[in-house]
Amino acid sequence: MSNIPMSYVSGISSVPLIGQTIGNYFDGVVAHHGDREALVAPAQGIRWTWRELAARVDAMAAGLLALGLKPGERIGIWSPNNAEWVVTQFATAKAGLILVNINPAYRLSELDYALNKVACRALVTATAFKTSDYAGMLMTLCPELKSCVPGHLEAPKVPSLRLVIQIGARTIPGALPFAEVADLATATSRAEVAALAGRLQFDEPINIQFTSGTTGAPKGATLTHHNILNNGFFTAETMKLGPKDRLCIPVPLYHCFGMVMGVLGCLTHGSTMVFPGEGFDPLATLETVSAERCTALYGVPTMFIAQMDHPRFAEFDLSTLRTGIMAGSPCPIEVMRRAIALMHLSDITIAYGMTETSPVSFQTTLDDPLERRVATVGRIHPHLECKIVDAEGRVVPAGSPGELCTRGYSVMRGYWDDEARTAEAIDKGRWMHTGDLATIDAEGYCAIVGRIKDMIIRGGENVYPREVEEFLYRNPKISDAQVFGVPDSRYGEEIAVWIKLRDGETMTEQEVKDFCRDQIAHYKVPRYIRFVDEFPMTVTGKIQKFLMRAEMQQANQESRAS
């Protein structure tokens, strides 16, 4: 029998999984923490206790049922962060409706696809956000909204859609104002909500989240009460959140980071959720943390970088901060070190996961040594299993890179109405294949090496972009760096990098190459270097390397042609 440790881990815990629906759990929290602050949204002038939030949630749930919506039907939400989003999240859970998160950055064709893919019967929409005119796009897609009676929409382009609910000023004639939905609640519909509490099951789907769709059409990951309530609980548990904690949530609610790790993490621990604004703004986030005495902060690495590099950073008292999560994309070691040193985030954790796994599978703990907390994504979450496999699906020895696979309560039901792509992602053993390259060492710590599709093969040598990026972060002039491969006739692929410099710094391509020379293997030194002010990224802060690759490829072709 072999004594070589293998890349397989399982999360052992004496804390049981929660066997309740989100609605029933919510009622228990309200009974226990009713007079504590639940939700603070300074930009909206909102400060609600759990009991005040519950009153709005129950009225909204009853109003939705009074409008004729039935458990199991899909209701979309297309909006930036606001209190209405949270009310809708809990109200739909209580009404047994499946909430469909629609990316606030979606444009017309993407909205059309999402609504039709899952056959949304209703849509809660904001009026506008940044450059997105939601009302205008919706009336272009469904011009019938200009004249229909609210709740009786008949639109050939979106045949399932009957009802549009508008947050804010009413600019869509055929929409129902959000504030009026609660007024429609009747004694009968309230009784129906109460009856559903005993009928709804925790394994029923409650949420559909569209993956970013960097290749092909977006896929609708279908998640249950059990998936997301438990993941929110264990994520917050790892940070040791409690009723006295105040969590600043600048990450988007449409994504798991906001609605699961944020909202449900606060729910399960009676903590206060604080929203600094509709979308991420580094100054507003710093102001809110300081003014609201937040103890925890969430963000992707680019958000933390933007706050620490802000010219007014030193003005704010961030001394109440203790913990939080940096996740969503690979967390540069130097950025973690700076956040700990400059933002008082002594107990900050790194979390890793994906939408399809509700999302978190690995997380660092407050007790992990600093080196482990900055160089890995921690150890397996309770009640989950993970393994690292090679191209043939065999588990590899500890420390060897391969594809990370996850199994357990967190794995989605599947992609909505897409059996083929579900079967590609979840194998017959119920393992979710993440597409991420990772290692798990003998002590169970996981390190993400990169995406399988992002790995660069240069002249037969495997180059992991993360490794080169981490090295470049050591240069004091460099704020951020993104490494990727571009096609090359001689080596198959060559290494390219886009670099963001710190304010006031200048640098040449030769300086970058000189910095790398004799420090990393010659084949890892970037051949193509571009200095940029920003990277193309999704709303959740995920860098879109495929767009960079396409742009560099085009530039190389034009250069050769000339």
What's the CA gap between 178 and 122, in Å, rounded?
12
Please, are residues 348 and 329 in contact by the beta-carbon 8 Å criterion?
no
Q: What is the SS3 assignment for 395?
A: strand
Residue 335 contacts residue 327 (beta carbons within 8 Å)? no
Q: Is the peptide bond between 301 and the residue preceding it cis, with omega within 30 degrees of 0?
A: no
Average pLDDT of the segment spanning 474-502: 92
CATH architecture of 22-210: 3-Layer(aba) Sandwich (3.40)
CATH 3.30.300.30 domain span(s) along the chain: 458-561
Does the pLDDT at position 215 exceed 60?
no
| Tens of pLDDT, residues 409-433 | 999 999 999 999 999 999 999 999 9
SS3 of 381, please? coil
Rounded to whole angstroms, the Cα distance separating 294 from 249 reads 10
Quick: pLDDT tens for 336-349: 999 999 999 999 99
Distance CA 446, CA 388 (A): 10
In the chain, what percentage of residues exceed pLDDT 70?
Answer: 99
538, pLDDT greater than 90: no
Measured between its terminal Cα atoms, the distance across the chain in Å is 63
With bands split at pLDDT 50, 70 and 90, how would you rate the model's confidence at 201?
very high
Q: Residue 450 corresponds to which tokens in the numbers above?
A: 């990169």
In the predicted model, is pLDDT for residue 214 greater than 60? Answer: no
The pTM of the whole model exceeds 0.85: yes
Q: Find tokens 């309770």 and name the residue.
A: 382
Mean pLDDT of 269-280: 97
What is the crossing angle of helices 509-516 and 465-472, to 10°? 100
Copy the structure tokens of residue 350. 């790194």
pLDDT in tens, 95-129: 999 999 998 888 888 899 999 999 999 999 999 99
What backbone torsions phi and psi does residue 497 show, to the nearest 5 degrees? -140, 140
Residues 6+ apart with CB under 8 A from 334: 473, 474
Least confident span in 363-372, 387-396, 451-460: 451-460
Q: Which candidate, 207, 305, 308, 194, places its Cα nearest to that of 263?
A: 207
Query: pLDDT tier at 451 (50, 70, 90 boundaries)?
Result: confident
**CATH fold of the domain at 458-561:** GMP Synthetase; Chain A, domain 3 (3.30.300)
What digits encode the pLDDT tens for the residues 164-181? 999 998 999 999 999 999
Q: Could you give the residue range(s) of every CATH 3.40.50.980 domain in the chain?
A: 22-210
From residue 475, alpha-carbon distances to 293, 303, 515 in Å are: 33, 20, 8
**Letter for the amino acid at 378?**
G
